[in-house]
Structure 1
Amino acid sequence: MANILIVDDDPDILELIRFYLLREGFKISKACHGIEALEAVGQTKIDLAIIDVMMPKMDGWQLCSRLKADYPEMPILMVTAKGETNHKLKGFNLGADDYLVKPFDPLELAARVKLLLKRYKIHTAMKLQIGKVLLDKHRYEAVIDDVPISLPLREFDLLFKLASYPGQIFTRNDLIEQVWGADFFGDDRTVDVHIKRIRDRFAELNGSFAIETKRGLGYKLVVHE
């Protein structure tokens, strides 16, 4: 799954973008200024950067220029409150691939991110293989030996999330936020119920993968070779 870096010194904008992109299934990295963004890029693989223009320490223009010099294949979406033509031209001349003016529709931003990833041919996984099970997000099906099995939406999304990052521990809160959404007001024990259903559903394939409970931490999926 593509990892999106969001760079903005406004925590509200940062959280708004993060919330909507998490709902689309992206992995998120965050930075509040250009220097922090460069540190993030140096520590993990970033597939696309969303950059605010007006920031302390290193503004968006400088960051865009640095990123395009060091990572020319990384798509960049500039976000700013200034909509004048000369600002857009400056961004494009520095290598920005797209430009969005605040206030913006978060759904439009998510759509532009997907288009940029598609333009750069960056893989956004819609199918995952975990042992004998193929998860197909286009159809929301699990396929075992060419036999499709339909799953309830939440069970599929929960399994797909865990399978996207095998070996990574997710807390209940992580899974609630990324699968049910930050506006979910139910009991976080609903995660336990759905995990049990998934385990029961795939019990006969216990040699293929397992969802392990890490006491006091959360859950992780392990694929058995």
Structure 2
Amino acid sequence: MNDMDKEIKVLLVDDEPHILQFLEMGLVNEGYEVATAPDGITAVAAAETFSPHIVILDVMMPGMDGFEVCRILKKNGSQAAVIMLTAKDEVDDKVKGLKLGADDYVVKPFSFEELLARIQARLRNQFPTLFGEVAIGPFRIDDKRKEIGFQGKVLELSPTEHELLRYMVLNHGIVLSKTLILDKVWGYDFGGEENIVEVYIRSLRDKLGDKEHRLIRTLRGAGYRVDLT
């Protein structure tokens, strides 16, 4: 972690004390400033005073559940990235959370390393000024110039190609479904076909010289994943 990461605030919301303790210890050791909340009402109040960059939010809580907390946070204008943390793996629940403004969805049980990767992805995606120009593997993302460099050269990309590649690189190592890509790049109101994702992935592979699909991998039935190793 660099010095900039020590300024990053994470709010943990879960009604299970052992999970709060586990995550708090791990994130503090990684250099994050951490606040915790054992329920939804406390979480809403804490978000106003603590102003977190990231909210790790459990869905299944008594009283005010995570969906309602997420809705209130977004309604109140919170700029925090919300990662829903839950034991529920139903597609409908994921869609509901994302439509309420959640930025990611992690299903229990999960690895701490995966959660860290998702936190970093959300930070680079929503708070790029915390990092300035971002270098990830062979890529360089410059949000001020709206440029993406690859192996030292600036890529010639359409606006949609830029947003798609940026999203996938910032989430490298994570499998991204077509539905999720459409939601995050094209938006929830996109009325076209999922196949548009395949068209743009093919174009990006051409521009990256990724003929063997080693950089942007296809996982049949699951989606796509950017591999940088």
- The TM-score by the shorter chain falls in which range? 0.5 to 0.7
Per-residue deviation at 1:26? 0.4
SS at match of 1:68: helix
* 2: CA distance, partners of 1:18 / 1:41: 16
Q: 1:77 aligns with which of 83, 94, 98?
A: 83
Corresponding pairs, count: 126
- Supply the AA of the counterpart residue of 2:47: V
Q: 1:88 aligns with which of 82, 94, 98?
A: 94
SS at match of 1:114: helix
Per-residue deviation at 1:73? 2.2
Q: 1:51 aligns with which of 53, 57, 63?
A: 57
Contact 1:20–1:107 (8 Å) recurs in 2: no
**Aligned-pair RMSD on alpha carbons?**
1.7
* 2: CA distance, partners of 1:97 / 1:42: 19
Higher relative contact order (CA 8 A, sep 6+): 1
* 1: CA distance, partners of 2:9 / 2:42: 16
Bigger Cα Rg: 1
Per-residue deviation at 1:68? 1.0
- Supply the AA of the counterpart residue of 2:65: D
Instruction: Give 5+ residue unaligned stretches, structure 1.
Output: 127-225
Q: 2:127 aligns with which of 121, 124, 136?
A: 121
Q: 1:103 to 1:20 in 2, by over 3 A?
A: same
Per-residue deviation at 1:44? 2.2
For residues 45-89 of structure 1, the C-alpha deviation after alignment (integer angstroms, 9 at most, x for no partner) is 211101000112210000000011112522100000001111111
* 2: CA distance, partners of 1:99 / 1:119: 15
The list of structure 1 runs, each at least 4 consecutive aligned residues, that deviate by more than 4 angstroms after superposition, is 122-126
SS at match of 2:127: coil
- Supply the AA of the counterpart residue of 2:126: Y
Contact 1:47–1:122 (8 Å) recurs in 2: no
Contact 2:124–2:131 (8 Å) recurs in 1: no
Q: Which residue of 1 aligns with 2:39?
A: 33
Q: 1:66 to 1:45 in 2, by over 3 A?
A: same
Q: 1:109 aligns with which of 96, 106, 115?
A: 115
* 2: CA distance, partners of 1:122 / 1:8: 27
Normalising by structure 2, report the TM-score.
0.52
